[in-house]
Amino acid sequence: MDWAWVGAAGPSPLFCNPDALCLPAMLSDAAQDPHLDPGPEDGIPVPEDIQVEVEDLGERRRQVRGCVLIPVERQRVWRVLTDYDHLAEFIPNLVESRLIGSENGRKLVRQVGSQKVLFARFSAAVVLAIEEIFPHQLRFQEVEGDFLLFEGFWELAEWLNHQTLLTYHLQVKPPRRMPVGLVERRLCRDLAFNLQAIRERCLYSQ
């Protein structure tokens, strides 16, 4: 993957793969999609330093990547990401997040997301097994839920001036009943807003 560095106030990471489906184009496409109703975040601009990339892996599988630079130390970002019982308080379209136990050294977290499609509410639930590698990485894998594949990781890297580069990687394969194009667009749109929400939570949390 190539990287470009821009921004007057300091380095900002941008995916620059010319084959990538990045968020601005995806938002434009989604606006034309008759199956995709506007969510509460529509009309809210996404900061330019938040970029999302999606890759078609074939067989209805998608790889989604995104990153954001957060001007706080890595330990604070870690605390926000691992406060599993309170993620639904600030993550858009996440209606439930709850630590339900542990298994083989991994934490089990149930999460439920909700979207509006064709004026109806659509929900997807997963139980994630999360391996915490403090303070660098959070690896997650679906062990129960609606997706045929849902796994990836959060990566936290120390950056200049006590900042943190937060990167998200996901491989996902929806079931046949879920249109893969619709899932792809919603995942990419939501990831950008989720990254923004995490950054704001890190900035204003103690």
Q: Please compute, for residue 121, the number of CA atoms within 13 A of its CA located in the half-sphere on the CB side.
A: 7
**Token pair listed for 13:** 């990471």
Instruction: DSSP letter for 19, please.
Output: T
pTM listed for this prediction: 0.77
Where the chain has pLDDT below 70, the residues are 1-47, 116-122, 206
pLDDT for the residue numbered 3: 25
Give the DSSP H or E segment for 193: helix 180-204
Q: What is the pLDDT of residue 180?
A: 87
The alpha carbon torsion through 34, 37, 42, 48 (nearest 10 deg) reads -50
Q: So where are the chain's domains?
A: 11-82+132-204
* Whole-angstrom distance, CA of residue 23 vs CA of residue 20: 9
- Would you list the DSSP string of 161-175? GGEEEEEEEEEEE--
Instruction: Give the Cα separation of 192 and 195 in Å (integer).
Output: 5
The 10 Å CB-count burial string (b at 16+, else e) for 170-194 is: bebbbeeebebebbbbbbbbbbbbb
Give the CA radius of gyration of the chain.
17
Predicted confidence (pLDDT) per residue in 139-163, tens digit: 999 999 989 999 999 999 999 999 9
| Contact between residue 150 and residue 170 where contact means Cβ atoms under 8 Å apart | yes
Q: In the prediction, which pLDDT does 193 show? A: 93
Question: What fold, for 11-82+132-204?
Answer: Alpha-D-Glucose-1,6-Bisphosphate; Chain A, domain 4 (3.30.530)
Q: Which two tokens stand for residue 39?
A: 């969510």
CA distance 130 to 84: 11
For 73, which DSSP code?
A: -
Q: Report the C-alpha dihedral over residues 92, 198, 25, 52, rounded to 10 degrees.
A: -130
What does the pLDDT read at residue 33? 40
